[in-house]
Structure 1
Amino acid sequence: MDRIRIVGGSKLNGTIPISGAKNAALPLMIAGLLTDETLILDNVPRLADVAQLQRILGNHGVDIMSAGKRPGDHEYQGQTLHISAANIIDTTAPYELVSKMRASFWVIAPLLARMHEAKVSLPGGCAIGTRPVDLLIMALEKLGAELTIDGGYVIAKAPGGLKGADIDFAKVTVSGTHVALMAATLAKGTTVINNAACEPEIVDVADCLNKMGARISGAGTPTITIEGVAKLNGTRHTVLPDRIETGTYAMAVAMTGGDVQLSGARPELLQSALDVLVEAGATVTPNNDGIRISRNGAGIKPVNVSTAPFPGFPTDLQAQLMALMTTATGSSHITETIFENRFMHVQELARFGARIHLDGETATIDGTAKLRGAPVMATDLRASVSLVIAGLVAEGETMVNRIYHLDRGFERLEEKLSACGATIERISG
């Protein structure tokens, strides 16, 4: 099994290109099931989760062609996927495929909308709390689907097709909003989603669906209205840049010091996180090519942060911020309001000498002058990269084990960091 070896102490200087957003690419690929024409997606990141979803879609009879690099392409430019679901040959998504990635459960929405039936395994994926699918099921039932759960599978039928409805989410849910949005595009009549998630990835998917002929308004606000259409067509769409990758590298620069241009990043996608970085002592400069991050000489100041749905501080950057605060001059407080069990990185950060105390959903981090390298183990996708950030400043050698979590969400992480002066390498086997 691969590991990542880091020798800490180097400042980061240079340019890091930001990849396409995983959290937009996955639902965009799934949206390809809604049409019998070809959907072309540009800037798709090369990630384990993307490859796994390609296998899942292939099981339904979807043809996916990945275009190779073209002359003049930058080595970090994402791949182009041509997704053709002209003939859906199977409406079952089996456990052995769905269990590896939660987002693959979302295929239930386009299958139900277009084929009027689906049989999809209950999901697996990250070990972050329960993350139930009850809100997704509620949304589909509101649209007229008949759902039963049998043997670990959700069996869904909509004999006459889905029908527009008002969907009121009791709490903000990104996955529920994606599912309701996709299902409603082909439903008869008007659907209104209330308390919808406002994340940029939702907006990106809605933009693509509108290019395909959907009639969606209000994406990016708590109320989304969808006028159902009879058919969607193919289109071409570029995946927006990954705000979580942007924030992760921004925190790595703030942690190590130095000066890095995050090429292709869009500041409006993560303004709350950038504001926290400025508060912590980093210099953040948006420019025509993205965002420039630097911290030269100034110490890291403590901050108090609570995670919140967009436009608040993202839960997916909580672990990275905690790593940054381990060397702040004073005590910081981070409250996790989105997912339970999302402090699994705390015990691993403690192996570096970090001083972190947990009290329910709040972590208190008492900054320490220095961290020491240690063997550590990745526990989930976002937590694992917090260990890399800590390793970049820790004295001596750090070995990060179980890095398949990293490969699910960060494209060529060690290459991007080493190009900016980090001593980091992947050890295979």
Structure 2
Amino acid sequence: MDKFHIEQSPSLSGRVRISGAKNAALPIIAAALLPDSPCRLKEIPALNDVKNLARIVECMGAEVEYEESSMTIDPRTLDCFEADPELASQLRASYYILGVMLAREGRACTSLPGGCRIGSRPIDLHLKGFKALGAEVSIEEGCVEVWTENGLTGGDIYLDYPSVGATINIMLAASRAEGKTTIENAAREPEIVDLANFLTVMGAGIKGVGTDVIRIEGVDEMQGVEHEIIPDRIEAGTYIIAGALAGEDVFVENVLDEHLKPLLAKLREMGVELEQDISGVRVARPKKLRSVDVKTFPYPGFPTDLQAQMMVLLTQAESSSVVTETVWEDRFSHVDELNKMGASIQLDDNSALINPSSLKGAEVTAPDLRAGAALMLAGLIADGETMIDEVDHIRRGYENIIEKISGLGGRIKQVRDRKNQVTTA
């Protein structure tokens, strides 16, 4: 099994370009099944999750052409309402097939979703939304089936929690339902706004996106369009934190800095040098890092997907900091691994006390995507060598990560087995 081998690196410098957002690309790929003509999607990241969803769509009969960073999807040949069980079980975003095919064909089926192990991922809010639109639901032996005999009808839906996945799935289903749908306490993430823009250009009527109340006017027909995926704010945040950790002069380009306000504000509190312009963010490590407390919240709060990376930066602060996680109940799996590297982090329920520490290289395991990214950042500043196992987690969310970090001067390579035989990245 491949691993990442990282050595303590000199100051990072140079430019790194951010890829299209995975969490926007996935629902938009699913939504491309809704119109009656092909869609061309640009800035599609080359990630396993994206490729798996494309395979699911192909297995359902759609024609998919994927070349470099663009993807063309023709849904006119769809002949199946069921997602491939094996592929679906590996991919949380496979549940978007439910909303899309329910809207398009009146029936859908998929396995319960997979993905990172960061806490329970119930889809009860998704199903609650489908039922409010007139669908029937059945869950048997790990499979979810939804259907409607008389078509979907708009309704009023209140989400008990502003779930990103549920908001997206209800939007997908409601876009071709008869009448108007209102989603209250909706999620507000930029990826939802990107999806709404895509659906609107295809013909759906959507208002209020980016607020906690979204109104959708369903349509009978939609037309395929060309659309460019927004930049990945979590990838951007990860490289900005890397610059704050070890940067001499790092420029992170293709960034929408309005999507990263909570992170940029915290970094400025810490004394990190930041320069923002229309094309990106320039970042450099200060001589001293001040401690700050961080509390994650749904957007527009501090992103839970940057919590682990931020924790690595806080180990280098002058004094102790506290990180509180409010979004996921099992989002501290990186703490044991960081402590193996010499970090001094104590957990208390949903909070972590981070004390200043000098990190040392060690053999560690990436328990999930963002935890793996945090371990990579730690390896760049740790004394000695770090070996990270289970790196497929990291590849799920970061396109060409070895090439990008190496391009900034980071000493990282992909290796196989304990003999450190170098493989092709």
Interval containing the TM-score (normalised by the shorter chain): over 0.9
Maintained 8 Å contact 1:36/1:87: no
Question: Which one of 234, 250, 264 corresponds to residue 224 of structure 2?
Answer: 234
Give the residue type in structure 2 aligned to 1:193.
Answer: I
Matches within 5 A, 1:30-429: 30-68=30-68, 79-296=69-286, 298-368=287-357, 370-428=358-416
- Deviations, residues 248-282 of structure 1 (Å, cap 9, x unaligned): 00111111131111111110011111111111221
Give the residue type in structure 2 aligned to 1:198.
Answer: R
Equivalent-residue separation in structure 2 for 1:261 and 1:382 (angstroms): 21
Give the SS at the match of 2:77: coil
Deviates most, 5-14 or 130-139: 5-14
Give the SS at the match of 1:40: strand
Maintained 8 Å contact 2:247/2:283: no
The match for 1:71 is: none
Equivalent-residue separation in structure 2 for 1:349 and 1:196 (angstroms): 35
The match for 1:27 is: 27
- Deviations, residues 3-24 of structure 1 (Å, cap 9, x unaligned): 1111114111110101000000
- Deviations, residues 229-263 of structure 1 (Å, cap 9, x unaligned): 10111000000000000110011111113111111
Q: Which 5+ residue runs of structure 2 have no aligned equivalent?
A: 418-425
1:137 positional shift:
0.3
Equivalent-residue separation in structure 2 for 1:280 and 1:399 (angstroms): 29
Equivalent-residue separation in structure 1 for 2:43 and 2:22 (angstroms): 10
Equivalent-residue separation in structure 2 for 1:395 and 1:273 (angstroms): 27
Give the residue type in structure 2 aligned to 1:380.
Answer: D
- Deviations, residues 351-372 of structure 1 (Å, cap 9, x unaligned): 110000000000000011x211
Give the SS at the match of 2:203: coil
Equivalent-residue separation in structure 2 for 1:189 and 1:295 (angstroms): 53
Equivalent-residue separation in structure 2 for 1:279 and 1:340 (angstroms): 27
Maintained 8 Å contact 2:94/2:110: no
- Deviations, residues 254-311 of structure 1 (Å, cap 9, x unaligned): 1113111111111001111111111122112111321111124x21211101100111
1:39 positional shift:
1.1
Give the SS at the match of 1:34: coil
Number of aligned residue pairs: 417
Equivalent-residue separation in structure 1 for 2:110 and 2:53 (angstroms): 14
Equivalent-residue separation in structure 2 for 1:202 and 1:4 (angstroms): 33
Maintained 8 Å contact 1:241/1:264: yes
Equivalent-residue separation in structure 1 for 2:190 and 2:354 (angstroms): 30
Equivalent-residue separation in structure 1 for 2:25 and 2:319 (angstroms): 39
What RMSD, in angstroms, separates the aligned Cα atoms of the two structures? 1.0
1:49 positional shift:
0.7
Deviates most, 95-104 or 180-189: 95-104
Give the residue type in structure 1 aligned to 2:315.
Answer: T
The match for 2:420 is: none
Equivalent-residue separation in structure 1 for 2:47 and 2:145 (angstroms): 30
Deviates most, 353-362 or 80-89: 80-89
Q: Which runs of 4+ in 1 moved over 6 A?
A: none
- Deviations, residues 172-209 of structure 1 (Å, cap 9, x unaligned): 10000000111000000000110000000000000011
Give the residue type in structure 2 aligned to 1:381.
Answer: L
Equivalent-residue separation in structure 2 for 1:284 and 1:132 (angstroms): 39
* TM-score (norm. length: structure 2): 0.96
1:406 positional shift:
0.8
Equivalent-residue separation in structure 2 for 1:146 and 1:249 (angstroms): 44
Equivalent-residue separation in structure 1 for 2:278 and 2:194 (angstroms): 21
Give the residue type in structure 1 aligned to 2:408.
Answer: C
The match for 2:422 is: none
Equivalent-residue separation in structure 2 for 1:290 and 1:360 (angstroms): 37
Equivalent-residue separation in structure 2 for 1:403 and 1:148 (angstroms): 35
* TM-score (norm. length: structure 1): 0.96
Equivalent-residue separation in structure 2 for 1:366 and 1:67 (angstroms): 46
Equivalent-residue separation in structure 1 for 2:38 and 2:269 (angstroms): 46
Give the SS at the match of 1:155: strand
1:85 positional shift:
0.9
Equivalent-residue separation in structure 1 for 2:95 and 2:340 (angstroms): 36
Maintained 8 Å contact 2:36/2:221: no
Deviates most, 55-64 or 350-359: 55-64
1:379 positional shift:
0.4
Equivalent-residue separation in structure 2 for 1:238 and 1:101 (angstroms): 23
1:428 positional shift:
4.2
Give the residue type in structure 2 aligned to 1:221.
Answer: T
Q: Which 5+ residue runs of structure 1 have no aligned equivalent?
A: 69-78
Maintained 8 Å contact 2:9/2:409: no
Equivalent-residue separation in structure 2 for 1:385 and 1:292 (angstroms): 20
